[in-house]
Amino acid sequence: MTISLRTPGVDGLAPLVAQLGEWQSEDGPVQLHPGDLGWFWRFGVDRAADAVRVWERDGELLAIGMLDEPDLLRVAYSPDALQDEELSQRIFDDCRDPERGVLIEGKVYVEAPMDALVQELFAKDGWIQDDPWQPLRHLLTDGLEQSALTIEVIGPETASERTAVQRASFDGSTFTDERWHAMAAGTAYASARCLVGRDEQGTVVAGVTVWSAGAGKPGLLEPMGVHRDHRGRGYGEAISRAAAAALRDLGASTAFVNTPSFNIGAVATYQAAGFEPLAEVRDQYRPA
């Protein structure tokens, strides 16, 4: 039995979205979510397909990777494959050799579940743990009421309001109307929602996109932002509560978000909205 690596192509993306959803669980690791691929889809279906890598053994899907950047691979595992020695060695070898078409030369990063065996292989090879990220989870049982904003679900006719607040929330954002429509045309968006929040004057001051992985599975916030001119008024907390409520309506078991640990303002906002911090996670990187 030999493990193979492939790029799925456009026609192979939909089954992978479904598989990523199946691999999500409350007692499972923090790993690549179908919403991560859905958010990447804004760059177009061809680029999304080109960014995906699949590891299989005799037709059995073992791991799915997504190149968030040419130097950053994010990997999700089948629950039974986290400690698979052959798979771990293959992923490790593929990440080390640029000629295999996974990562480029020089300094590169890999995000994998913290309890995956491949983490040990990277460490033994001299890779270094990067700065921590803070996952947070909302159980969706209570505390979802909010009154600071009027929440609206975005559709094709109002996409410009979602993209505008995104650009006003993140320096350097390239989220355009065209990219919203590309994202919304993706398979993963069938179980997603874009929300905006209006203040008392009717101004859109916050936005969020939420992604369901299926009924009874953890849902993802990716991304959430507050307009830079309207911060410090509780809008981040309000839109985060609205996002959790939307995921509950979509059948999610919990709402999940991941933010850099150094972003203490974001961590505090999510906690104020009822999200509880989980154990920190770290990427591994190979020095240039």
Q: pLDDT tens-digit profile of 39-60?
A: 999 999 999 999 999 999 999 9
With a cut of 70, say whether residue 19 has pLDDT above it. yes
Q: How confident is the model at residue 143 (pLDDT cuts 50, 70, 90)?
A: low
d(CA 240, CA 242): 5
Asked if 84 and 69 count as a contact pair (C-beta separation under 8 A), the reply is no
Distance of CA 135 to the CA centre of its chain: 11
Smallest Cα–Cα separation from 28: which of 80, 74, 67?
80
Average pLDDT of every residue of the chain: 97
Contacts of 106 (CB under 8 A, 6+ apart): 71, 288
Return phi, psi of residue 87, to 5°: -65, -45
pLDDT of 31 reads: 98
pLDDT of 288 reads: 85
More confident residue, 141 or 256: 256
Q: What is the pLDDT of residues 228-272, one digit of tens each?
A: 999 999 999 999 999 999 999 999 999 999 999 999 999 999 999
With a cut of 90, say whether residue 141 has pLDDT above it. no
**β-pairing, 284-286 with 108-111?**
antiparallel
- Report how far apart, in Å, the C-alpha atoms of 111 and of each of 95, 130, 132, 240 are: 11, 10, 11, 25
- Average pLDDT on 191-211 reads 98
- Average pLDDT on 171-178 reads 98
Q: Hey, which residues does 208 pair with through a beta bridge?
A: 195, 224
pLDDT of 147 reads: 79
More confident residue, 24 or 145: 24
Q: What is the pLDDT of residues 153-166, one digit of tens each?
A: 999 999 999 999 99
pLDDT of 30 reads: 95
d(CA 108, CA 96): 9
- Average pLDDT on 165-184 reads 98
pLDDT of 36 reads: 98
Q: At 259, list the tokens.
A: 């933010």
Reported as type and span, the H/E element at residue 179 is helix 177-184
With a cut of 80, say whether residue 33 has pLDDT above it. yes
Q: Please give, one letter per residue, the 3-state secondary structure of the chain.
A: CCEEEECCCHHHHHHHHHHHHHHCCCCCCCCCCHHHHHHHHHHCHHHHHHHEEEEEECCEEEEEEEEEECCEEEEEECHHHCCCHHHHHHHHHHHHCHHHCCCCCCCEEEECCCCCCHHHHHHHCCCEECCCEEEEEECCCCCCCCCCCEEEECCHHHHHHHHHHHHHHCCCCCCCHHHHHHHHCCHHHHHEEEEEEECCCCCEEEEEEEECCCCCCEEEEEEEEECHHHCCCCHHHHHHHHHHHHHHHCCCCEEEEEEECCCHHHHHHHHHCCCEECCCECCEEECC
With a cut of 90, say whether residue 144 has pLDDT above it. no
- Average pLDDT on 205-218 reads 97
- Average pLDDT on 268-287 reads 97
Q: How many CB atoms lie within 10 A of CB 35?
A: 28
With a cut of 70, say whether residue 142 has pLDDT above it. no
- Average pLDDT on 98-115 reads 98
More confident residue, 228 or 143: 228
With a cut of 90, say whether residue 133 has pLDDT above it. yes
Share of the chain above pLDDT 70, in %: 99
Q: Burial, 91: exposed, middle or buried (Cβ in 10 Å; 0-12, 13-18, 19+)?
A: buried
